[in-house]
Amino acid sequence: MPSSATTEPTVVRVPTARGAANGRNVGRILFKTLYRTKIHGAANVPHRGRLIVAANHLGFLDGPLLFSASPRPLHLVAKSELFEPPFDKLLNGVGQIPLDYESADRDTVKVALKLLEDGRALGIFPEAHRGRGDFGRIRHGVAYLHSRTNAPIVPTAIFGTRHTGMTKNQLPKARSELTVVFGEPFSVPALGDIDSRATMAAMGESIRQRLADHVVRSAAECGVDLPSDVPSDKTGGTDG
């Protein structure tokens, strides 16, 4: 006997654009006060339309810095552990998105896709965890989002949020120099079935190489360096 129950459609709740804009404005004031922030290539970031801003990840301040330095409001994908009291309300209020990196977080993927489909800008750290920031390895979530939305990718290099010998949660000294370099948007063609793991892997590697090249080029042009080590935690372990 057929069931009379009906399946309710999934409602994808997306953060507000106003929250992201307000949070960016506050962040700019804080970084201007606490650090010497240099932003290069802002003109490379399109003012309208769907966009993926993909940045390297080396220090604790990367997320707030990228969010504040962006020429347009960003909805930043951040690890779910950060969305705990008292920071959960703040992060949600400024339009950020929690992601569980250790599982297939389908809800977050749906939110990210909806934001891009609505013509907004999504910030993401393809390396997932804080490391050297050289894009030696990335996860292929950025390739998946790119393949489904055709959103251009802006390669972004961050320097100064962590130096060699600093722990993963240590902050740079006040008034030290932080640098963000936005590169020219690019797209990567899908050479095959986008539902194929091989195609996603190939796209991911192409994206990784473009991102890594941008970091190397930016370091040379700005005269800055990445840390030479992987950050340790306070107990001597490393950030996985």
Segment-wise mean pLDDT, segments of 10 residues, the chain, 240 residues: 42 78 93 96 98 97 96 89 78 82 77 95 95 96 96 98 95 97 97 93 97 98 97 56
CA angle 142, 147, 150 (to 5 degrees): 100
**pLDDT score, position 102:** 67
Overall pTM surpassing 0.85 (yes/no)? yes
Short-list 22, 51, 69, CA closest to 118: 51
Strand residues in 83-146 grouped as ranges (E): 97-99, 121-124
pLDDT in tens, 96-115: 888 776 666 788 889 999 99
Eight-class DSSP state of 44: G
Describe the strand order of the beta sheet including 51-55 as a list of residue ranges: 36-40, 177-182, 153-159, 51-55, 121-124, 75-79, 97-99
**pLDDT score, position 7:** 41
**pLDDT score, position 160:** 98
Q: 55: which 2 tokens? A: 């940045």
